[in-house]
Amino acid sequence: MTPSLPERLAPRLGLAALSGAGGVLCFAPFGLFWLAPLVWAGLFSLLRRAASPREALLSGLAFGLGFFLPGVSWVYVSLSVFGGMPWWLAGPAAFLFCAVMALFPMLAGWLFKRWQPAAFWRQALFFAALIAAVDWLRGWIFTGFPWLAVGYSQSPPSPLAGFAPLLGVYGLSLLVALGGALLLRRRSGLPLLAALAAAGFGLRQVEWTTPDGEPISVALIQGNVPQEMKFRPEAFFRTLDLYRQLIETNPAQLTLLPETALPVFLDQVPPDYLAALKDLARRQDGDLIVGTLTGQGEHYYNSAISLGSSPLQVYSKHHLVPYGEFIPPGFAWFMAYADIPMSSFSRGPQNQPPLAVAGRRVAVNICYEDVFGEEIIAALPAAGILANLSNTAWFGRSLAQPQHLQIARLRAAETGRPMLRATNTGMTAIIEADGTLQAALPPFTTGVLKGEIRAYRGMTPYARFGNALALGLMAMCALLGLTGRRQVAGSADAAAGRTSRI
């Protein structure tokens, strides 16, 4: 008896979902970067063997659900545990979000089978181009959510991280998918993947940027203020005292505090407190950068301000988080079920100069702004140091913190700039200009990470051209794949014509 379509598809879709779940292991905190080519080789094999574009579409969807449901499960935590949304709404909302993300590998699966080339190596090129292209598409459509783009799995210590200053994260996505696809031809695939790794290792030895000036001392403050207490009035002065004590006992030329460390509008902070912080920074002939709220009335901003030897400067976050920091049109009803304070921020200016602090120029970004590589490079070459202020306490003890640190490490490698990360609950870290981790604090602890860092100057190819090189490579791979398909189709049509004449 011939099995029905659901019976025939069930094992395939189950394997696709399992493969997607395995892909989460390639990213932090697991860090099995070497597994990534194998995972995407599995997806490539499933798509090649699909009987129709519909089967390939469903395989891509199943892979995406298996990948995103565990990979960004912290979305549920932010909505339910800290957002106050009832579980019966937070659960479906988190699932729907992951389902939307799964549409991107689904699209890649359908396009691959719809235009599948005949030759294997052309299939591999076309597959790699599609995987990288949907990662890139996910990075900007609907304001963008490029979290868990395939290339992030190859942050240091992966040898493929050597390609980051050239091609950025989406170029790495292409290389991983291509290397994985070629693994299905072991005789040629393994040597080619080894050659890619060797080339990446060699590129890691290239110094794309150079130190600029002497090292400066830094202190990164991790307050570990519980999210449920952060915006409560009764905890306000305890929070202020905590940060002042940590700053006073850990002097440095440049001190960073987390996003919204001062969880009120700047003009609501006691003036004597701001004066005290300013004096503490001046004792070191330095400055501190602290997250707070600025603006008034209907227009207020998620900002970072500088205090100390340099004049007061402000950076206001430009790339806001949908639902968390602004309400998309038509979704006010949805936010009525959540208790998320300050969820209607205004956007800061698009092009803001780096902050001139501690004798250096520091490009500040807030929260998940560092997920967008082309926005980070807008501050270059002026900035010599990158700094991220975050509060990922919204996501509890989840994969969000180590995943975010991994993303920051790739930003450093792409730009050839060190990255300083000051977070409320983790991961507070000092990242070197090549993406290696100098030091990090344990998450969910109160502490100060002290160290030294140097500013860097110069421009990597990625800093100069952004994603243009990666997009060009994707287009070239897709063209090479589809050119072969057209030639095969043309030959088949000609043969059919000769047969009909006979």
Triad 365, 369, 371: Cα angle to 5° = 125
Output Rg (C-alpha) for the chain, integer angstroms: 24
Q: Which of 98, 230, 317, 325 is catalytic?
A: 317
Is 278 catalytic? The answer is no
Of 388, 447, 414, nearest in space to 170 by CA: 414
Q: Which of 367, 369, 414, 432 is catalytic?
A: 367
Is 317 catalytic? The answer is yes
Residues near 359 by beta carbon (within 8 Å), at least 6 away in sequence = 213, 216, 253
Q: Which of 259, 325, 369, 414 is catalytic?
A: 259
CA distance 451 to 143: 35
CA distance 321 to 300: 15
In 3-state terms, the chain is what percent helix, strand and coil (to 5)?
A: 55, 15, 30
Backbone phi, psi, residue 293, to 5°: -110, 135
Q: Are 322 and 347 in contact (CB under 8 A)?
A: no
Backbone phi, psi, residue 364, to 5°: -90, 140
Of 376, 380, 385, 370, nearest in space to 287 by CA: 385
Of 75, 146, 100, 90, nearest in space to 368 by CA: 146
Is 375 catalytic? The answer is no
CA distance 170 to 146: 10
Catalytic positions, please? Answer: 259, 317, 367
